[in-house]
Amino acid sequence: MYKIRSTNALLLGIFILGLTACSTYQKVPYFRNIPADSSVYARGSMIPTVDYQALKIKPDDLLGITVSTLDNSTAILSDAGVRPQGAPGGAIASQPGNGFLVSAAGTVELPLLGSLQVAGYTTEQVKEWIRTKAAKYYKDPVVSVRLMNFKVTVLGEVARPGSYFINGEKATLLDALGLAGDLTIYGNRQNVLLLRDSGGKQKSVRFNLNDGQALTSPYLYLQQNDVVYIEPGKAKAAANNAGRTQTIAIVGSIVSVLIVALTRFR
């Protein structure tokens, strides 16, 4: 009778452990509700996503701006390459690594071209405005405007938490997680937090990466200075508690052995 009860208890424990493991696994894969049948493997599947909106320049942004001329006799390139060599007029360029800082009022001061309102506009719009202004002084001006401080910060349960600079202007939440080495096994994929500065206030948005609907969020594409936080899941707390319990058990065993030894030697 005792053996039967022990066997039943063991089987029940294994069953519960299996259910727990299955439940934990269900929380790990991304986008579980995206179809995975044979037709998808053969022909692919269109997944609804949100349209990309170009980044808007903000106060305190750093812009890399170059203006160069290109004519039949002389070529002047940006500060990333060749310097002006005896060309009439020359080139307007940000110093390497410095750039032009957007003021609190949303303007930048450009040599010769003067002050230009840029906050709230895209780099493409600003590039066209600068080209129009530069055409008064240069023949066939070639203009480049880029955002130099597109930085995102990823914190919490990722392999490499930290701040990352994005090349270009188009990056998603998934790109940021990729730069940070992806979530650890303990990261809560169902409650990823995005913090975004919105006119001096912090706006918070939550993502459930287990659900493909996350790809349709208007906040999927990141903006400069976004912060992504991955909170630890319950498994992390359970692992920590298990570690503490094991430590307490070991210490308790050592203390018990010492007490028994001291008692015997008295």
Rounded distance between C-alpha atoms, residue 51 and residue 261, angstroms: 73
Which residue is listed with tokens 């208007």?
A: 218
Which pLDDT tens digit goes with each residue over 31-46? 887 776 655 655 666 7
Q: How high is the pLDDT of residue 73?
A: 41
C-alpha distance across the termini of the chain, in Å = 44
Write down the pLDDT at residue 142: 85
pLDDT in tens, 62-111: 999 888 877 644 333 333 433 333 333 344 433 445 788 999 999 998 88
Residues 102 and 159 in one domain: no
Which pLDDT belongs to residue 266?
59
Same domain, 143 and 165: no
The single residue listed with the structure tokens 């409650």 is 191
> What is the rounded CA–CA span in Å between residue 127 and residue 118?
10
Beta bridge mates, 76: none
> The pTM is what?
0.70
Same domain as 122, residue 90: yes
Predicted confidence at residue 250, as pLDDT, reads 66
For 35, the token pair is 């179809």
Q: Which domain holds residue 197?
A: 150-232
Asked whether residue 71 falls in the same domain as residue 119, the answer is yes
Residue 180 lies in a domain: yes
If one counts the domains in the chain, the total is 2
Tell whether 127 is covered by a domain.
Answer: yes
Q: Within 13 A of 223's CA, how many CA atoms are on the CB side?
A: 18
207/154 same-domain check: yes
Q: How many CB atoms lie within 10 A of CB 180?
A: 23
Take residue 152 and report the two structure tokens written for it: 């995102």
